[in-house]
Amino acid sequence: MKKYAFPFAIWLLFEAIAVTLWLTLDNIFYLFNFSYIGTCLALGIGFYSKKMKHARSIVQLAVGSYMLIYLGILSRENMQLEGFWYYLFLGVFEAAVIHYVIAKIFGPLLFGRGWCGYACWTAMILDLLPYKVPRQPRKKIGFVRYIVFAVSLVFVGALFIFRVPNLENIMFWSFIAGNALYYIAGIGLAFAFQDNRAFCKYICPITVFLKPASYFSLLRVKNDTDKCISCGKCEKVCPMNVAVSDNSRKRLNGTECILCFSCVDACPKKSLHL
């Protein structure tokens, strides 16, 4: 029963969020939305504990495609960073604002960058590419993410300052165009740097929110140093170049762990754990 405690706890957490938002905002959509996401995550974690090989990929597909296709395209909600600024400037606590607050601003205090590993619709596609393990040293161009972050803010801010009409329509098409650009850039960088997660490391503006809170994440991979033989296999398979064997919160790229557990699976002594 112990191995089912964690996925059940995740499900309860998302159910609590679902019910709270439903009753507070008087909108049953939030009950469905967060119940669905929580159930997918709980099942995925449960399947992983049963050694199902593609458990995380299944969760990525279930959650990522739901947010991209149903919320983004069919419901015309801009769930990208521009959508967050848009609703924030409107002074409305709904849609992308709620999503960002839970998944990307305060959520990482609990689960770090779990969003990137289990729900991101961009990474959902990038993880299917052939370079799951980086084949080149990490580049020093992470500053690009801050430029993209600033451009996003300036773009939406300018729409409000100049009182551009048809903002909802502009937000929808910026979501479509933005995702197309992200996929093109992500796939191009993956092949150029031989690294599926190059986009996440250098370009993705969402990491500006994710990184600070992830430093304090409650859920993080830890190393039992009494078992560890310093073979380095964990760090060789890490898609985010995290110094996994170092237990310090200041470990190299420590705020970028996506909880994929590739390191845990690769450890010959089973010294890595949550």
pLDDT at 94: 85
Residue 158 has pLDDT above 70, yes or no: yes
Q: Which of 4-8, 24-28, 174-178, 234-238 has the least mean pLDDT? A: 4-8
Average pLDDT of the residues in 200-218: 95
Residue 2 has pLDDT above 60, yes or no: no
First-residue to last-residue Cα distance in the chain: 17
pLDDT at 1: 46
**Residue type at 55 in one-letter notation:** A
Mean pLDDT score of the chain: 94
Domain locations in the chain?
77-112+121-214, 220-274
pLDDT tens digits for range 60-111: 999 999 999 999 999 999 999 999 999 999 998 888 999 999 999 999 999 9
Task: Check residues 67 and 51 and name the one with the higher pLDDT.
Answer: 67
pLDDT at 256: 94
pLDDT at 49: 79
DSSP letter for 6, please.
H
Average pLDDT of the residues in 104-129: 94
Asked if residues 132 and 47 have their Cβ atoms less than 8 Å apart, the reply is no
Asked if residues 104 and 115 have their Cβ atoms less than 8 Å apart, the reply is yes
The proportion of the chain whose per-residue pLDDT surpasses 70, expressed as a percent, equals: 99
Residue 3 has pLDDT above 70, yes or no: no
Q: In the CATH hierarchy, which fold is given to the domain comprising 220-274?
A: Alpha-Beta Plaits (3.30.70)
pLDDT at 48: 85
The proportion of the chain whose per-residue pLDDT surpasses 90, expressed as a percent, equals: 90
